Amino acid sequence: MTASGIVLPDTVDREKKIEAEVVALGDGKRLAKYNLKPGDRVIIEKWGGEEVELEKVEHKIVDYEKILAVIE
State the pLDDT at residue 26.
86
Condensed to tens digits (0 to 9), the pLDDT of residues 37-70 reads 999 999 888 887 899 999 999 999 998 888 888 8
Tell me the percentage of the chain whose pLDDT exceeds 70. Answer: 78
Contact 60, 44 (CB under 8 A): yes
Tell me the percentage of the chain whose pLDDT exceeds 90. Answer: 31
Question: Distance of CA 25 to CAs 3, 21, 31, 54, Å?
Answer: 39, 11, 8, 16
pTM of the model: 0.69
**Non-local CB neighbours of 1 within 8 Å, separated by 6+ positions:** 7, 8
Amino acid of residue 22: V
Distance CA 16, CA 43 (A): 10
